[in-house]
Amino acid sequence: FNKQESLLSKERVLNIAHRGASGHAPEHTARSYQLAKEMEADYLEIDLHVTKDKHLVAIHDKDLNRVANKKGKVSDYTLAELKMMDVGTWFYTQHPEKEPVSSQLMTLEEIIEMFGQEVNYYIEWKQANGLEVLLLDVLRETGILQNDREGGVIIQSFNDETLKSIAKLEPSVPLIQLYSFKKSAELTKREIKEIKKYAIGIGVNYQSLHHDFVEKILANHLLVHAYTVNNEKEMKELIQMGVTGIFTDFPDYLTKLKKE
């Protein structure tokens, strides 16, 4: 984890380990986060959902079908029930060459307890509005916001209302507005002005990005993070385009590229 230069500098290309090093190990597990740290990612990317008993667990889908082979939603189960589920078999079935390790879901507290200030956290709030306060409680209680590193915790969401609410409740946390553009990425001057009121940048599906758009966003002093990029050729093209961060399932590829 490179701590020499501000994480939020426009000059950097942040290496954001998407669901941990999820190309190498089951997503959102201790193993995938540990590998991301070893691969020198700048951030662990963490998607969050809320359990029946109001704990925050790192999981991308609201349903359990894909990673746990269970029926129903995260919100139908207590944390204790969720902790019993195996979330690795689906991955190791697809990757028989890898040595399986026991894989459980983790709460945000457990992740912060495991890594403390040694890593940076790029947290996506995937819940409906109104529950953001649960996230801020965890961040405050774990002390992770008392960090002298600007950008040590970033919060991202596709939902602008969620981000505006967090900006009011905890103005110190940098926010990223996510977009998924169907075609070429475009934002009007008015939209950019609105984003700048609460966010430090945007996260965009990389296929929609183009040079003029990235230039326009940077000229407006916003960061541009591209998701989710899993090969070196596209990483290189995006770096040339000027993006300031890349979400990847293979943080080792980007680390290697940045050292070349």
Give min distance, CB of 54 to ligand G3P, in A: 22
> In this chain, which of 7, 15, 18, 21 binds ligand G3P, going by CB under 6 A?
18
If contact means CB under 5 to 8 A according to the sort of partner, which of ligand G3P, Ca ion, none does residue 49 touch?
A: none
> In this chain, which of 27, 42, 47, 132 binds ligand G3P, going by CB under 6 A?
47
Q: Which of 18, 49, 55, 225 is catalytic?
A: 18
Q: Are strands 56-58 and 43-50 parallel, antiparallel or unpaired?
A: antiparallel
Residue 143 Ramachandran class (φ > 0 left, ψ -120 to 50 alpha, else beta): left
> Does 124 participate in binding Ca ion (rule CB under 5 A)?
yes
Is residue 153 within 8 Å of residue 147, measured between CB atoms? yes
Among positions 114-153, residues that touch ligand G3P (CB under 6 A) are 124
Give min distance, CB of 188 to Ca ion, in A: 25
> In this chain, which of 29, 51, 156, 162 binds ligand G3P, going by CB under 6 A?
156
Q: H or E element: which one contains 227?
A: strand 223-227
60 is catalytic: yes
221 is catalytic: no
Q: H or E element: which one contains 179?
A: strand 175-179
Among positions 72-91, residues that touch ligand G3P (CB under 6 A) are none
If contact means CB under 5 to 8 A according to the sort of partner, which of ligand G3P, Ca ion, none does residue 34 touch?
A: none
For the CA atoms of 144, 20, 76, 169, the dihedral, rounded to the nearest 10 degrees, stands at 30
Measured CA to CA, the distance from residue 235 to residue 231 in angstroms comes to 6
Q: Is the dihedral of CA 34, 139, 153, 27 positive or negative?
A: positive
> Does 170 participate in binding Ca ion (rule CB under 5 A)?
no
Stretch that binds Ca ion, among 1-9, 120-128, 232-240, 251-259 (CB under 5 A): 120-128
Measured CA to CA, the distance from residue 199 to residue 220 in angstroms comes to 12
Would you say 144 or 202 has its CB closer to ligand G3P?
202
Catalytic residues, which ones?
18, 60
